[in-house]
Each structure stands twice: as C-alpha cells, then as structure tokens.
Amino acid sequence: MMLKNKFAVITGSNKGIGLSILENFSKNGANIIACARSKTDEFEKRCIEISKKNNNKIFPVYFDLNKENEILDGLKNIETITQDLDILVNNAGINQASLLQMTQMKTVKEVFQVNFFSAVMLTQKLMKIMIKNRKGSIINISSNAAIECNAGRSIYSASKSAIVAFTKSLSKELGAFNIRTNAIAPGLTNTKMMSQGIQQKIIEDAIKRIPMKKVAEPDDISNVALFLASDLSSYVNGETIFVTGGY
C-alpha cells in the first residue's frame, strides 16, 4: 500500500478523474476527505462502498468552488476532521470553449474562480498544516491545453497555464519544508467533461494526432497522481507531467 496511513484531500472527487483518484488512493491505504460540489445519495453510497472495501476512512465534504464563502466553510469542516494532512489534490475544474469575442466576462471570472482561484484558496490554507508537520505533497490538475492553446480555448487555456506557473513557483516556496508541489496535465480523457464539452468530430480528429491512437482513461491520470502522492516521487518537485499519449 503506497499511501498507508496518509491523509488526503481531493476536490472534484465525485466523478471522472477525481473519482478515479479517490478509488486509487483508498485502495493504496489513504484516508480521504472527498470534496464535491453537492451532496447526492449516489456519491454518499459510493464513498461508503469504497471505504468498506479498503478498510479506511472517507469523509465527504461539500462546497461550491465558485462561491468563496462555501470554500471557507468547507475548509472549516476539513480542519475539524484532521490536522494531519499529507496530500492535497486540486482536481476540480470546469470546461470552457468559445471564441474570445463571444465570451462574456462573467464566464471568464467563473472559469478562473473554479479552475485557479479556488485552488489557490485551498492550498494557501491547507499548506499551513503541511508546513507545521513539515511534510506533504500538493498535486494540481492542469491540462495539455496549458501549452496547446487552441482557438476557442483562450480562457480555459489561460486558467490551466496559471496552474502550471503557480505549481512551479510554489514548489520553490515549500520545498524547504519537505513539501512537494507538482502538476499533472492530462490530454483528452474519457470523462463526461470530454464527451459533453467537446464535439465528437474534434475528438476523432485529435485521436488521429495522438501516437497511441486513443484517449486516456481516468485511471491513466490517477496512477500518475498516486506516484506523485507517494514516497516513490520523493525528489520530484516543481514538475508538470503531461499525460497525453504523446500528443
């Protein structure tokens, strides 16, 4: 068990890549605070099933990353659950695709709030626990859009580029405290966000340009997160790992 007796916070853990990270971390021995936007019976049941299967603890915590007051309330809940945090995964995010001339400033602010500012808020607060304990791994989920920067993706790409820069700079601030900060930049991944947010023709054209001729599965991303969360990556810091099949 690569994460035995470790405690993790994961945002956006109710679906897609986040759910795969939740299952992978639990299978490898971690106790988890599983953050999601809203409570559902399906997710509550899933957390109980995963917890019983792996004989560890999962604590669902709910807050909307688009609302700063809810983030603050969520942080208070997290602090009542544990003061021994080893891993933070800033995974939650929203997709966005439109030409800049067709994009309202309201949308720009929402994308940055969910994809970037919320991660900053959570990290700024929770890293204090890691600094006190002089240990930790922070994992930020970016995207290959951070460097591909295709037409119609200016705002989304900018928010994910911000995550990469944030990761690099923070790694230099926290390294002396034995806290590692890294990012993962997935390419196309088989999630609802992909299927609902990207036209099928665009997906098919992209697959033609991927050397491995397929999109990633959520487990492909969560396995990299597991590596970065574990002691196997004890000297990996300030890096962005692209998981794109060679795209």
How far apart CA 9 and CA 53 sit, in angstroms, is 19
Q: How many whole angstroms separate alpha carbon 181 and alpha carbon 80? A: 24
Asked if 58 and 82 count as a contact pair (C-beta separation under 8 A), the reply is no
Burial of 116-149, coded b for 16+ CB within 10 Å and e otherwise, reads bbbbebbbebbbebbbeeebbbbbbbbbbbbeee
Active site residues: 156
Give the Cα separation of 219 and 136 in Å (integer): 22
Query: Sign of the C-alpha dihedral, residues 213, 221, 67, 151?
Result: negative
Six token digits for residue 240: 């962005």
